[in-house]
């Protein structure tokens, strides 16, 4: 826990990005989470990704549910509007917010209690609706704010801090997201910033429901031997299927790799993704193969990370609903109200 506010003065070495903001402009309030909490690393990754993507901070809306993870939107992007909603219901609020103004970037932050237990339904339905958003699930397998109860993502047989073994099957959020129709699915580790930042950047560039499950150890209640969500366990069992070199424009592609070692994907916003394959046979656009791979490796106790699934032909909710391109919240009477003459006609048809 950091309790000393950082000085307001900007170090002269802090470079502004293309839209004129320094990294500090993407920061938020001082975190009140425990020292070493994985969630703070994720906040830092969000800050880094938004800065690198040249996103104007005020064009982001950050929403969350309830829990430790859901407190974090206060700790990044201080010039963005934020909304700490109710437990497990962030997805529906993002859905409505997105309907009202399709021009903002929607960042939904949730935890495993929030998304896998109380809000499992809303999580699933936001995926199947294709809400254009980045859905970050900060997954630590435990209820932190209420002090150490198992969450629904805790692996069967893993032990609580008090030594009790979990007897229930875990909910695998990435597999669920895949079945539910998410068009961008990733898993990462809060301790692997080199993997996480590009993944978030790629998710931001994606149109449709982009879901990233980030294993994020809870230092207070789930970082002990016997836990499968501890720093040590994840480091030992992290099996990345690929690494993303996220690239803004095609001309920036410079690194050279052997043939078949990389895949380039153009995103809807015109940016490019370069995937460096770690498992040469892994094809993130093949949903069935991806699910097989994930199931096989997870059965061995591995934590499969990387860009796990990507639908190059994704669509989003607005496209499905055929809505106008202008944000609803800027439509005026002329656009919305049919007027008295139409009403008189309608009255006539009701006689």
Partner 1 sequence: MTPLSATNDFVIKFANINGSGSASANELFAKAILRMGVPVSPRNIFPSNIQGLPTWYEVRVTENGWLGRRGGVDIMVAMNPQTWDADIKEIEPGGYLFYDNSKPLPASKFRDDINVIGMPLTELCNATYKEPRQRQLFKNIIYIGALSVLFEMASEALAQLIAEQYKGKEKLLQPNLNALKLGRDYATENLQPIGLRVKRADNVGDRIFIDGNSAVALGCVYGGATVCAWYPITPSSSVAEAFQRYCAKFRVDPATQLNRYAIVQAEDELASIGMVIGAGWNGARAFTATSGPGVSLMTEFIGLAYFAEIPMTIINVQRGGPSTGMPTRTQQADVLACAYASHGDTKHVLLFPEDPYECFEHGAAALDLADRLQTPVFVMTDLDIGMNQRLAAPFVWDDSRRFDRGKVMTAEMLDEGRQFGRYLDVDGDGIPYRTYPGAHPDKGSYFTRGTTKNAFATYSEQGPDYVYNVQRLLRKFETAKSLVPQPVLQEASKTTRFGVIYYGSTSPAMSEAFASFEASGNHVDRLRIRAFPFPDSVSDFILNHEHVFVVEQNRDGQLRTLIVNELGIDPARVIALLHFDGTPITARFITREIEALMRALNAQTLRQDKVA
Any alpha helices (H) in 104-209, and if so which ranges? 112, 120-129, 173-180, 193-205
Question: What's the min distance (Å) between Cβ of 65 and partner 1?
Answer: 10
Nearer to partner 1, 93 or 134 (CB): 93
Return the bridge partners of 184, or none: 210, 310
d(CA 43, CA 41): 5
Sites of contact with partner 1 (CB under 8 A): 29, 56-59, 61, 63, 73-74, 78-86, 89, 91-101, 103-104, 121-122, 124-125, 129, 318, 321-325, 327-329, 331-333, 335-340, 342-344, 346-347, 350-351
Nearer to partner 1, 98 or 117 (CB): 98
Question: What's the min distance (Å) between Cβ of 135 and partner 1?
Answer: 14
Nearer to partner 1, 16 or 157 (CB): 16
> In terms of DSSP bridges, do strands 133-139 and 142-143 run parallel, antiparallel, or are they unpaired?
unpaired
Positive or negative, the CA dihedral 98, 173, 206, 23 is positive
Cα atoms in the Cβ-side hemisphere of radius 13 Å centred on 283: 8
Nearer to partner 1, 257 or 328 (CB): 328
**Backbone phi, then psi, for 254, in 5-degree steps?**
-125, -35
As given in the structure block, the two tokens for residue 44 are 């830092």
Nearer to partner 1, 84 or 262 (CB): 84
Nearer to partner 1, 292 or 326 (CB): 326
CA distances in angstroms from 60 to 105, 171, 213, 231, listed in the order given:
5, 30, 20, 30
Question: What's the min distance (Å) between Cβ of 144 and partner 1?
Answer: 18
Question: What's the min distance (Å) between Cβ of 57 and partner 1?
Answer: 8
Question: What's the min distance (Å) between Cβ of 83 and partner 1?
Answer: 4
Question: What's the min distance (Å) between Cβ of 35 and partner 1?
Answer: 20
The answer to whether residues 314 and 130 touch, using CB atoms and an 8 Å cutoff, is yes
């Amino acid at each position: 826990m950091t309790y000393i506010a950082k000085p307001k003065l900007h170090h002269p070495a802090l470079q502004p990005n293309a839209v004129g903001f320094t990294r500090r402009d993407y920061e938020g309030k001082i975190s009140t989470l425990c020292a070493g909490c994985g969630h703070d690393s994720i906040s830092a990754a969000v800050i880094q990704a938004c800065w690198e993507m040249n996103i104007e901070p005020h064009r982001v809306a950050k929403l969350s549910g309830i829990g430790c993870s859901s407190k974090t939107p206060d700790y990044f992007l201080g010039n963005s509007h934020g909304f700490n909603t109710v437990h497990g219901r962030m997805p529906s609020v993002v859905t409505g917010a997105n309907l009202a103004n399709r021009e903002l970037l929607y960042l939904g932050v949730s935890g495993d209690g929030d998304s896998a237990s109380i809000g499992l339904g809303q999580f699933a339905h936001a995926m199947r609706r294709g809400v254009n958003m980045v859905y970050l699930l900060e997954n630590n397998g435990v209820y932190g704010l209420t002090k150490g109860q198992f969450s629904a993502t805790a692996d069967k047989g893993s032990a609580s801090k008090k030594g009790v073994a979990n007897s229930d099957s875990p909910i695998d959020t990435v597999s669920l997201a895949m079945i539910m129709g998410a068009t961008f699915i990733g898993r990462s580790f809060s301790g692997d910033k080199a993997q996480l930042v590009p993944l978030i950047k790629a998710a931001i560039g994606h149109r449709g429901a982009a879901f990233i499950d980030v294993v994020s150890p809870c230092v207070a209640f789930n970082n002990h031997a016997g836990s499968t969500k501890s720093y040590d366990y994840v480091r030992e069992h992290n099996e990345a299927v690929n690494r993303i070199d996220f690239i803004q424009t095609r001309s920036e592609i410079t690194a050279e790799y052997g043939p078949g070692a990389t895949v380039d994907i153009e995103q809807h916003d015109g940016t490019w993704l370069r995937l460096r394959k770690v498992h040469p046979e892994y094809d993130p656009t093949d949903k069935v193969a991806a699910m097989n791979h994930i199931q096989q490796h997870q059965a061995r106790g591995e934590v499969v990370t990387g860009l796990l699934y990507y639908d190059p032909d994704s669509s989003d909710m607005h496209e499905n609903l055929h809505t106008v391109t202008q944000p609803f919240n800027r439509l005026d009477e002329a656009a919305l109200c049919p007027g008295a003459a139409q009403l008189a006609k309608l009255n006539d048809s009701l006689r």
